[in-house]
């Protein structure tokens, strides 16, 4: 990408002005954004200039990323409170990957981040955000990293939570001397993007770290085009933050086993994605909490499981039958549902959504 005359003039002026400023440039990671190392360095110094006044009254470190995803660039900036060891403010935007847009995006980000820092509350619940997982989505590593930053910034922008810093520097003397103020994450967020047929299923899962239980979730279906994936992630970031605040603590805890295929034609990745998608819709219904399928450790405070749910998709001629069976703690089947669908990805995705709604109803809550 060639820099415009305006960009060169502006960045040259920033370099000249930088010599009079104290501090370090704001680290910006470029993932296919098109800027040369020199231009990226100049933009980093420009961001520091723009943020210098706001940073006079708050003790935060600023860093950012510019990632090309499809034909768009995702601009994300984060403010890290070193004492709290958390990302306490963030801003994000989506622009066309032209140098003028990257400069104006940086200016807008500085204004938004400065405002957020001034208005931030003294304390909020903490989350841990995992890198976005891909199963056949076609996104490369840089695009996934850019989408993870975009998702994380959106979650922070919701104003409901802070995020435990995933990029904290090990061995930092400053961090080591101030780590006593840091608290562990209360929840962990995972996003899984799975290609099933021509669609991509996005499962947004929030698990309570102490109880090892999924307590909030969203399931979205989209084409696998990058613009649509960005849009779904954009909307989910705000919605999931609100769901965590509003979710009732009283709901039965269940285990959902991986969907079993009997001639459905779905491969292992598609079955895993369909399982995540069904779980996301079930948790989003408010009917139940679901035991975290990725159990990292045993917890004394983990509540007992009241039911186990087994889902099977079986082919019979041109049709598939998707059945769910609910078992109690003794292994007795107490409830069940069934759906007929075409044995194609679209039909099975719809059947999974309907199964989640039916399970929410039979398990005793008013699902969607």
DSSP 180-215: GG----SEEEEEEEEEETTEEEEEEEEEETTTTEEE
Query: Region 35-61: what's the mean pLDDT?
Result: 92
Mean pLDDT of the region 194-223: 92
For the CA atoms of the chain, what is the radius of gyration? 23
Q: Tell me what pLDDT residue 302 has.
A: 61
What would the mean pLDDT of 69-83 be, rounded to a whole number?
A: 94
The pLDDT assigned to 319 comes to: 94
Determine the Cα–Cα distance for residues 68 and 336; give it in Å rounded to an integer: 46
Please give the average per-residue pLDDT across 105-125, as a whole number: 92
Model's pTM, two decimal places?
A: 0.87
Confidence of residue 259 (pLDDT cuts 50, 70, 90): very high
CA triple 310-312-316, angle to 5 deg: 160
* Beta pairing partners, 343: none
Closest CA to 344 of 280, 270, 256: 270
Q: Would the pLDDT of 300 be above 60?
A: no
The DSSP bridge pattern shows strands 289-291 and 213-223 to be antiparallel
Structure tokens, 171: 């061995």
What average pLDDT does the segment 292-301 reach? Answer: 61
Which residue has 């060169």 as its token pair?
8
Q: What is the 3-state secondary structure (H, E, C) of 18-42?
A: HCCCCCCCCCEEEECCCCCHHHHHH
Residue 248: predicted pLDDT? 61
CA distances 327 to 179, 217, 251, 282, Å, are 46, 23, 17, 16
State the Cα–Cα distance between residues 203 and 200, nearest whole angstrom: 10
Look at residue 245 and tell me whether its pLDDT is greater than 70. Answer: no
| Confidence (pLDDT) at 23 | 54
Give me the chain's average pLDDT, please.
86
Beta pairing, strands 133-135 & 162-164:
unpaired
pLDDT of residue 13: 43
Q: What is the pLDDT of residue 37?
A: 93
Give the length of the chain.
368
Query: Quick one: tokens of 325?
Result: 């069976």
What the block records as the tokens of 161 is 């939570």
The half-sphere exposure of 263 on its side-chain side, counting CA atoms within 13 A, is 9
């Amino acid at each position: 990408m060639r820099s415009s005359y305006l960009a060169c003039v502006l960045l040259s002026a920033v370099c000249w002005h930088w010599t009079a400023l104290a501090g370090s440039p704001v680290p910006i990671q470029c993932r296919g954004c098109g800027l040369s190392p020199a231009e990226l360095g100049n933009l980093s110094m420009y961001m520091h200039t723009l943020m210098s006044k706001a940073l006079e009254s708050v003790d935060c470190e600023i860093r950012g990323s510019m990632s090309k995803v499809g034909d768009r660039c995702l601009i994300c900036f984060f403010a890290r409170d070193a004492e709290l060891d958390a990302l306490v403010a963030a801003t994000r935007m989506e622009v066309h990957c032209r140098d003028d847009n990257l400069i104006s995006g940086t200016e807008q980000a500085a204004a938004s981040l400065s405002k957020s820092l001034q208005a931030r509350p003294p304390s909020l619940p903490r989350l841990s955000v995992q890198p976005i997982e891909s199963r056949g989505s076609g996104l490369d590593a840089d695009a996934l990293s850019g989408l993870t930053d975009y998702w994380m910034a959106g979650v922070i922008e919701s104003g409901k939570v802070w995020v435990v810093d995933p990029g904290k520097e090990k061995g930092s003397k400053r961090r080591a001397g101030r780590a006593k103020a840091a608290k562990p994450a209360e929840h962990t967020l995972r996003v899984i993007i799975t290609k099933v047929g021509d669609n991509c299923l996005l499962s947004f899962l929030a698990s309570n770290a102490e109880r090892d239980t999924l307590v909030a979730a969203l399931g979205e279906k989209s084409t696998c085009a990058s613009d649509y994936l960005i849009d779904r992630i954009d909307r989910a970031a705000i919605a999931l933050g609100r769901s965590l605040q509003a979710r009732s603590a009283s709901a039965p805890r269940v285990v959902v086993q991986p969907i079993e295929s009997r001639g459905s034609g779905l491969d292992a990745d598609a079955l895993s994605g369909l399982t995540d998608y069904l779980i996301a819709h079930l948790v989003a219904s408010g009917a139940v909490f679901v035991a975290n399928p990725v159990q990292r450790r045993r917890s004394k405070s983990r509540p007992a499981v009241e039911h186990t749910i087994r889902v099977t998709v079986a082919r019979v001629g041109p049709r598939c039958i998707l059945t769910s069976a609910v078992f109690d703690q003794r292994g007795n089947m107490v409830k069940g549902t069934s759906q007929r669908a075409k044995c194609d990805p679209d039909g099975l995705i719809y059947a999974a959504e309907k199964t989640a709604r039916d399970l929410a109803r039979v398990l005793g809550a008013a699902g969607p």
